[in-house]
Amino acid sequence: MPMKKLLVASAALLLSVGAAKAEEKTLTISVYGFAQDAFKKFLYEPFEEKCGCELVVETGNSVERLAKIEANKDAPVIDLAVISMRDALAAANKGLTDKVDTAKLSNFAKLYDIAKDPNGDGMSVGYTFYASSIAYRSDKMKVDSWADLLADGVVDHVALPNVTTTQGPLTLYMLGKALGDEDASLKTPIAAVGAKKDEIVTFYVRSSQLVQLMQQEEIWAAPIGRFAWSGFSKMDLPIKWATPKEGQSGGMNVMVLTKGSKNRDLALEFMDFWLSTETQTTLAENLVDSPANKDVKVSDEIAENLTYGADTVANLHLIPSQVAIDNQETWLSEWNNKVGQ
């Protein structure tokens, strides 16, 4: 074979081998559907550039995404998923996830302690969390305690989350603390809400409903997640974020590795990239996620719209995942009996 043809053939062979390798290096992740344009710009594309691989991103609600992982447990089609703490424990209990080899995460030591092993089983790592407290009209009322939501003269200007929402059990959990009963059944706070149910303005299902109610002065206070705060802070009204004496509740989202994934090392590489100070800072500065990496530094203006800083994190009261799993049905039946809406 002439030298020129031999070189062309060799080049073609190298290209085809390279293409095959690139095709093999694909990571499939399952994520929440929000802020995907921002994630693509600040997380997915920079990682693809760094690893020379392709990210396949699947989105959907938690129920759909977990169902897909379970349906394909014998031949996984997802390598890494981001879900809530509670869903992570439920998935681990069903044998759908694997232990996270944190020795392969160069950024692991930079995480806040509560994010390192959220469920205490080594099966997940937290990447973002949020505080839940009370947005309130500071010219109309004071909030020193979660119990102030049910006070006479205030309760008829309060919206509370329905128990079926993420915020519902968090609010009841903190109300229970304020009322001196921390029993996991939440019977005492549910009964206290039930006693005032006819005075409470509404039991909301979406926090987006609240901004209009606050604007119209129908409500003075409502428990919300920090991710919903920006809508209130932009109003031309004296609205504050409460720091009750019992503390704030909240939630954490975590990353898990699917059991039997053939792309374990690449999944860990992506996990580490997401937890890096650089990536977490960029996501925080663009108000996409609150950082779980304690080395992240942002301006006061940015911090105002995030769950940020060691003091805030230290005062978060998260409902343990197993408690939530074990008591979900009890909460719903108690709520239906006492509140019924």
Question: What architecture is the 130-249+320-338 domain classified under in CATH?
Answer: 3-Layer(aba) Sandwich (3.40)
| pLDDT tens readout for residues 93-107 | 999 999 999 999 999
Global pTM value: 0.81
14-129+251-308 has CATH 3.40.190.10 classification: yes
Integer Cα distance of 107 and 292 in angstroms: 11
Amino acid at 193: V
What pLDDT does 208 receive? 82
| Range(s) within the chain of domains with CATH label 3.40.190.10 | 14-129+251-308, 130-249+320-338
Residue 89 burial class via C-beta count within 10 angstroms: exposed 0-12, middle 13-18, buried 19 and up: buried
Mark the ranges of the chain whose per-residue pLDDT is less than 70: 1-24, 341
Integer Cα distance of 83 and 86 in angstroms: 8
What pLDDT does 191 receive? 97
What pLDDT does 15 receive? 47
Integer Cα distance of 69 and 258 in angstroms: 8
| pLDDT tens readout for residues 293-304 | 999 999 999 998
Integer Cα distance of 215 and 230 in angstroms: 14
| pLDDT tens readout for residues 48-95 | 999 999 999 999 888 889 999 999 999 999 999 999 999 999 999 999
* DSSP secondary structure letter of residue 81: E
Beta-bridge partner residues of 54: 26
Distance of alpha carbon 33 from the chain centroid: 12
What pLDDT does 24 receive? 62
b/e map 107-127, b = 16+ CB within 10 Å: bbebbbebbbbbbebebbbbb
What pLDDT does 169 receive? 95
